[in-house]
Chain A
Amino acid sequence: MTMPVSQQRLARAFVDLAASVVTDAGDPTGLLEALAAQGTELLDGCAVVVLYAPDERTPARVTGVGDELMGLARDAVAWDEGPGRDARRTGRAVSDTPLDGDLARRDWPRYAPRALALGYGRAAALPLRAGEDTVGALVLLGRGAAPLSAELLELGQSLTEAAGWNLAQDRLLRESRALADQLGQALTSRVVIEQAKGSLAARHSITVDEAFHILRSHARSQRRRLTEVAREVVERRLELRVE
């Protein structure tokens, strides 16, 4: 028995999306482009847009192939409507929807007519998940009125899962690096403060506890971080007055 070609290609795409390392920590551009490209290639007769909006602070971004399609995708973000936005918001798939139907016209009053004008008749969207969070969506747009097949949606699901797994791993990696940095800084800062206590105590013949109070009140009155003040004292760039 020979395997359908699409399955072979899916397997390769899946492995690529799951295993490709997000090169710059925190910058998923390459992965999003790969998902859009693999989707466009594999999901025959279907236009594909990747929407990425991990949180409220990060501006939403869209990836896909073709000027008209990207124009529609950017407008959807600006209008805050469309299947991608819905899948991203709810974390659930938007099933195959006719764009000239009542539902589409009601929920996507600007998006649906524009998509129809570009020749798209059907739309669906699959949530892109990193761990437990939905961080975006894969939008599928079908030309003409023929419904998007269940196999097509399943293929899309597989691709988004692979990309989402990669995003989750990348996030874990960034989180642990940030935590390691924080830990190092917290420990180093403790060391510098102890050094400054000793340095101040020796300079003014006071106890280390008294020295700490002087450091702390100086930092408070100057609204500066205790660590910075301590570092300047240790490096003798700052003389503190002792009453």
Chain B
Amino acid sequence: MATGSGAQDSTASAGRKAAVARARSAYETARAEHHEKLAGEADTEALREAHLRIAEIHRSTAACHQTAARLQESYAARLTTWSRDRDRPRPLFMAGVAEACGTSSAALTLVGSTLDQLALAASDEPSRAAQELEFLLGEGPARDATREVRLVAASGLTLRDRWPGYGPAVGELGIAEVAAIPLTLSGACVGALAVFDPAPDFVDSATFSEVAEAITRSMILSTDGAPGLCDDFDMRALVHQAAGMVSVQLDCSVSDALEMIKAHAFAEGVSAQSVADRIVRGLLCLD
């Protein structure tokens, strides 16, 4: 799918999104300044504080749009560089997100109302493998972050304590620390941003929540277009096709079929995608 025009479209689209984010940031900054001015003119302390509080909300929204603009601009720049030298792999939007989090491994998970993983985007192989483990085992930081709607972090031994299946398995990938933050806006949670082996002190920094909010606000829940936040999203189409097939072959529900595919993949130590591929091609029959 990485055709030449596709890359140009992506570059142009990232540029547009950056411009929209910059404009929104400017608007929010202007609103903040307006209320700061009113705060300065206020006759009473209560009024002054009310304006300052409102200004603060606008400032924080402006900062999110600013972060979003930077993420889109850096993505556009990477795409442009790449289009001159196609020998390298096409840059991923998520790689920029990971970089902003001081790591090379970051993953986004989108969930539906049942909090099942519906789509994922990962910056590199380790983060993809870690998300796959969460998908196969049904436990892990992104799942907890969306269910509890709060930041979840664990490292070392607490990884195993918290997630008896996921903890040791993610450790085998060479990952020592995981953290996930829910993607929420106005109480609506649409997924989680997970980082693996982030920079020291990053998890508790304002940057983590700012990046998460920027992604949610300006990219996922943005009014200017479809949820096409980036080209990296994987819907696991093949896995769901295979679940449909297995449900007929074994006369069970698709959700049971999906669980069987996951269990088979985990037992074999491969991805659900790889099991699904064999099922769809008629090379594997689950029983």
Interface residue count on the B side (C-beta < 8 Å): 44
In the assembled complex, the Cα of A229 lies from the Cα of B113 at a distance in Å of 21
CB distance from A230 to the nearest CB of B (A): 9
Question: What residues of chain A lie closer than 8 Å to B42, measured between beta carbons?
Answer: 11
In the assembled complex, the Cα of A3 lies from the Cα of B48 at a distance in Å of 14
CB distance from B113 to the nearest CB of A (A): 6
- Contacts A14-B47, A15-B47, A172-B186 given: A234-B245 contact, CB under 8 Å? no
A118 lies within 8 A of chain B by Cβ: no
In the assembled complex, the Cα of A208 lies from the Cα of B47 at a distance in Å of 64
Chain B interface: which of A29-37, A195-203, A219-227?
A195-203
Let me know if A198 and B242 touch, CB within 8 A: yes
Let me know if B254 and A195 touch, CB within 8 A: yes
B54 CB contact (under 8 Å) in A18, A180, A199: A18
B245 CB contact (under 8 Å) in A165, A190, A191, A199: A199
- Contacts A15-B47, A176-B188 given: A198-B235 contact, CB under 8 Å? no
B243 lies within 8 A of chain A by Cβ: yes
A187 CB contact (under 8 Å) in B47, B54, B235, B249: B235
In the assembled complex, the Cα of A82 lies from the Cα of B118 at a distance in Å of 53
In the assembled complex, the Cα of A234 lies from the Cα of B258 at a distance in Å of 13
B126 lies within 8 A of chain A by Cβ: no
A7 CB contact (under 8 Å) in B43, B111, B119, B240: B43
CB distance from A237 to the nearest CB of B (A): 13
Interface size, A (range) = 35 or more
Interface majority SS (helix, strand, loop, mixed), chain A: helix
Binary contact readout A1-44 vs B (1 if CB under 8 angstroms, 0 otherwise): 00110011011101100110000000000000000000000000
CB distance from B269 to the nearest CB of A (A): 24
A172-188 contacts to B, CB under 8 A, are 172-173, 175-177, 179-184, 186-188
In the assembled complex, the Cα of A203 lies from the Cα of B243 at a distance in Å of 13
Question: What residues of chain A lie closer than 8 Å to B273, measured between beta carbons?
Answer: none
Let me know if A15 and B221 touch, CB within 8 A: no
Question: What residues of chain A lie closer than 8 Å to B190, measured between beta carbons?
Answer: 180, 183-184
Let me know if B280 and A183 touch, CB within 8 A: no
A55 lies within 8 A of chain B by Cβ: no
Let me know if B50 and A11 touch, CB within 8 A: yes
B89 lies within 8 A of chain A by Cβ: no
In the assembled complex, the Cα of A188 lies from the Cα of B118 at a distance in Å of 7
Interface residues of B (CB under 8 A from A): 42-47, 49-50, 53-54, 110-113, 118-119, 185-190, 217, 220-223, 226-227, 235, 237-238, 240-249, 254, 280
Interface residues of A (CB under 8 A from B): 3-4, 7-8, 10-12, 14-15, 18-19, 162, 165, 172-173, 175-177, 179-184, 186-188, 190-191, 194-203, 208, 234
Name 27 A/B residue pairs within 8 A (Cβ), A-sorted. A3-B43, A3-B44, A8-B44, A10-B44, A11-B42, A11-B43, A11-B46, A162-B50, A172-B186, A173-B187, A176-B186, A181-B188, A183-B190, A184-B113, A184-B190, A186-B227, A188-B113, A194-B240, A194-B244, A195-B240, A195-B241, A195-B247, A197-B244, A198-B247, A199-B247, A199-B248, A202-B245
Given contacts A176-B185, A195-B240, 14 further A-B contacts (CB under 8 A): A7-B47, A11-B46, A15-B47, A19-B50, A177-B188, A179-B222, A179-B223, A184-B111, A198-B240, A198-B242, A201-B244, A201-B280, A202-B248, A234-B247
